[in-house]
Amino acid sequence: MGITKERRSLLVSTAMVLFFFNIHHLQVMSCPEPAASNSTSCTDQDRKLLEFPLNLEYLEAEFFLFGALGFGLDKVAPNLTMGGPSPFGAQKANLDPLTRDVILQFAWQEVGHLRAIKKTVKGFARPQLDLSIKSFAKVMNDAVGKKLIPPFNPYANSFNYLIASYLVPYVGLTGYVGANPKLQCPASRKLVAGLLGVESGQDAVIRTMLYARAKYIVHPYGITVAEFTNKISILRNKLGKKGLKDEGLVVPKLMGAEGQISGNVLAGDEMSLAYDRTPEEILRIVYGSGNESVPGGFYPMGGDGEIAKSYLVKK
Ligand SMILES: *[C@@H]1O[C@H](CO)[C@@H](O)[C@H](O)[C@H]1NC(C)=O
Ligand SMILES: *[C@@H]1O[C@H](CO)[C@@H](O)[C@H](O)[C@H]1NC(C)=O
Ligand SMILES: *[C@@H]1O[C@H](CO)[C@@H](O)[C@H](O)[C@H]1NC(C)=O
């Protein structure tokens, strides 16, 4: 299969435009030709990588729907659950009008993401999720290194809910960054780029809302919002076991963009590129166990799909 005539003339005219526009841009043309795209030959690896994030999208959809409305997929899109069990312990959060409005938008976005993924891969039923106060309280205890009293309740108020939300889209975001280079088919990469764009946006909104109150002390723990985010990020780095891929809202200047600034409203590496994570790293984090073979945390029975299941010890 050679390059088609239209494709060749497109390349030629593109090259000419680039030449006249700015000769340096010609470097772009030296990229190797991508493999011929053929939607029917999209690989099994793509399928596995595309179904994996359903684990996170189910969690996000349920957490945001419940937080804003007090009910979840069982009511708004029962088909999408494919008969999977209802989440444990999710509830309506006590949110101020702005936060509720934003979270409700995120909730519907997550429903869209579930539909988008399922349009491409068959996927799997909603896994058992544990969105109880206890489940979040445990993450926060692990993050701060002591038992918070009373237990951290994500549903108690807008602050707590946003701090709990800090846990959510960012992990998905790093997963999409990690998956993208492993995908073979343009259609898969397009889907992942589309998901990544909106997940990053959600993360940015949550971080900005928290950043505006970075110095606020979360009652009754005597810990500032910024410290909470720092400690959560440190915990995730520890559980992921692949070094620094997570940063709080205020960092040592050296870690900020170009080593110039300690405000860190968005996380990024030394060139301010988003960090990537593999499915294994993500499982270690969302299970809270630091081990992709030891389920727990938000997924008491483990995640679903071939990648997650391949690590679960058969009982
Ligand atoms: C696309 O892939 C399928 C399955 O591998 C193959 O049978 C078909 O010939 C391919 N089509 C093209 C245009 O390459
Ligand atoms: C959802 O379920 C309804 C009723 O059972 C059905 O008509 C519809 O096609 C389903 N939609 C999807 C996307 O599966
Ligand atoms: C992860 O858990 C499995 C199953 O319990 C165990 O065999 C394995 O050694 C653990 N891995 C690490 C790195 O602790």
Question: In the Cβ-directed half-sphere of 294, how many Cα atoms lie within 13 Å?
Answer: 7
Judgement on whether residues 118 and 211 belong to the same structural domain of the protein? yes
Compute, in degrees rounded to 10, the torsion defined by CA atoms 282, 60, 195, 140: -40
Q: In whole angstroms, what is the distance from residue 307 CA to residue 303 CA?
A: 9
DSSP lists the bridge partners of residue 224 as 217
Ligand positioned closest to the Cα atom of 122: 2
Say yes or no to pLDDT of 2 above 80.
no
Judgement on whether residues 28 and 48 belong to the same structural domain of the protein? no
Has residue 304 been placed in a domain? no
Judgement on whether residues 81 and 118 belong to the same structural domain of the protein? yes
Judgement on whether residues 106 and 171 belong to the same structural domain of the protein? yes
pLDDT the model gives residue 42: 85
pLDDT the model gives residue 29: 44
* The ligand 1 atom nearest the CA atom of 38: 1
Judgement on whether residues 16 and 113 belong to the same structural domain of the protein? no
Q: Tell me, in angstroms, the distance from the centre of ligand 2 to residue 78's CA.
A: 9
Judgement on whether residues 160 and 215 belong to the same structural domain of the protein? yes
CATH of the domain at 147: 1.20.1260.10
Question: Using one digit for the tens of pLDDT, what is the confidence trace for 174-200?
Answer: 999 999 999 999 999 999 999 999 999
H/E stretch holding 223 reads strand 223-224
Q: Is 315 in the pocket of ligand 3 (CB under 6 A)?
A: no
Judgement on whether residues 205 and 86 belong to the same structural domain of the protein? yes
Q: In whole angstroms, what is the distance from residue 165 CA to residue 104 CA?
A: 13
**C-alpha 171 chain-centroid distance:** 4
DSSP per position, 10-62? HHHHHHHHHHHH-GGGGGGGGSPPPPPP-GGG--HHHHHHHHTTHHHHHHHHH
Has residue 286 been placed in a domain? no
pLDDT class of 28 with cuts at 50, 70, 90: very low
Over range 47-54, report the average pLDDT. Answer: 97
Question: Which has the higher per-residue pLDDT, 30 or 118?
Answer: 118
Q: Is 293 in the pocket of ligand 3 (CB under 6 A)?
A: yes
Domain closes at, from 220, 235, 250: 235
* The ligand 3 atom nearest the CA atom of 294: 2
Token reading at 83: 């008969």
* The ligand 1 atom nearest the CA atom of 36: 14
H/E stretch holding 224 reads strand 223-224
Q: How many domains does the structure of the chain reveal?
A: 2
Question: Using one digit for the tens of pLDDT, what is the confidence trace for 227-282?
Answer: 999 999 999 999 999 999 999 999 999 999 999 999 999 999 999 999 999 999 99
Judgement on whether residues 124 and 193 belong to the same structural domain of the protein? yes
Domain closes at, from 199, 214, 235: 235
Q: In whole angstroms, what is the distance from residue 113 CA to residue 301 CA?
A: 23
